[in-house]
Amino acid sequence: NAGVTQTPKFQVLKTGQSMTLQCAQDMNHEYMSWYRQDPGMGLRLIHYSVGAGITDQGEVPNGYNVSRSTTEDFPLRLLSAAPSQTSVYFCASSYSGAGGRATNEKLFFGSGTQLSVL
């Protein structure tokens, strides 16, 4: 059972560089999301997707892009990295139930990507 797989585990970028954080799940979950975790701030939602071809913004979307071409994958792109994007990033997925509107299903999290932007 792989669950939610994130790569890479660690990354160091220079300001202005771009990169993609990968997330894949093998549970056939419709819902996928990206959070960032910062000390003293808990987790904040960046972007989410309720199915292939459908994405929407969360609480802190600026500086990040996402796409969802398949059910399994939900990559997060940093277009031009900034020091403020230094954080731990978590991908999470969940079953959405019949009709895609389940609201009480638990999230399954990946093990995270620790990103430093110098």
User: Which residues would be at the binding site for another protein (CB under 8 A)?
Assistant: 4, 31, 33, 35, 40-45, 48, 50, 58, 90, 92, 94, 96, 101-112
Of 81 and 90, which has the nearer Cβ to another protein?
90
Of 6 and 85, which has the nearer Cβ to another protein?
6
Q: How far is the CB of 77 from another protein (least distance, A)?
A: 20
Q: How far is the CB of 25 from another protein (least distance, A)?
A: 12
Contact 12, 73 (CB under 8 A): no
Sequence-ordered list of residues with C-beta below 8 angstroms from that of 34, at least 6 positions apart, any chain: 21, 23, 45, 46, 47, 48, 58, 64, 66, 74, 76, 89, 90, 91, 92
Of 20 and 111, which has the nearer Cβ to another protein?
111
Of 10 and 62, which has the nearer Cβ to another protein?
10
Pairing of strands 19-25, 42-51: unpaired
Largest Cα separation within the chain, whole Å, is 45
Q: How far is the CB of 9 from another protein (least distance, A)?
A: 9
Q: How far is the CB of 1 from another protein (least distance, A)?
A: 14
